[in-house]
Amino acid sequence: MDIRQLNLNDIPSGWSINEQGLPGTGQITEQEFADLLSLCEVAVGAFEHEEMVGFVLCLLPNTRYASLNYAWFNERYSSFLYVDRIAVAERHRDKGIGTLLYGYIIEHAHQRGLPVTAEVNLTPPNPGSIRFHERHDFNQIGEFHQGEKSVAMMLRSTK
C-alpha cells in the first residue's frame, strides 16, 4: 500500500470513493471535490497497484471553505488540522486503510505541533466512526446541531 499526495488526475476516483461513504462523508460534486483539494494542507490517498482505495483531506484554519462544521472549529481554535473527510472504497474496508491514513495525518500534525479536529455524525448515527476516532485518541469536545443533522465535534490533542 502506497500513500501519496493527490493531484487533479485523482479527482474522479476520490469523488467516487466519497460517494461510497455517504452519508458519513457528506455529498459534494466532482467540481466541489476539486475545489476542496485546492484548499487542503494534506490531501493524500492510499493506493494499491495504482488504484486509489481511500483518501483523507485536511485543512488548516481560516481558508475560504464554507463548511459550518469547519467554521465551528475556526471560532474556537487558532491552530488545528481539520479532517474534512476520510473515506475508504467499499470493497477495501476493514483492512486498516483508514488507520494507515490517520497515521499519516497524525504524524503530519505532530510534526507541526497541531491538534487534529474532525466531526462525526450523531444524526444520522455513525457509531463505527465514533469508535474509529476514539481508537485514534480523539475526544468529543462538543456537539453541533443543524436542523435534522447533529455531529460530535472531536479533537485529538498534540502529544
Question: What confidence tier does 159 reach under pLDDT thresholds 50, 70, 90?
Answer: low
What is the percent of the chain with per-residue pLDDT over 70, rounded to a whole number? 99
**pTM for the full model?**
0.94
Q: How do residues 68-81 score in pLDDT, each as one tens digit? A: 999 999 999 999 99
Q: Which residues are CB-contacts of 22 (< 8 A; sequence separation ≥ 6)? A: none
Q: What is the largest CA-CA distance in the chain?
A: 42
Domains of the chain, by residue range, sit at: 2-117
How large is the average pLDDT for residues 38-59?
97
How large is the average pLDDT for residues 107-117?
97
pLDDT in the model for residue 21: 83
Please report where in the chains the cell 475560504 appears, as a residue: 64
The radius of gyration of the chain's CA atoms, rounded to the nearest angstrom, is 14
The CATH architecture of the domain made up of 2-117 is 3-Layer(aba) Sandwich (3.40)
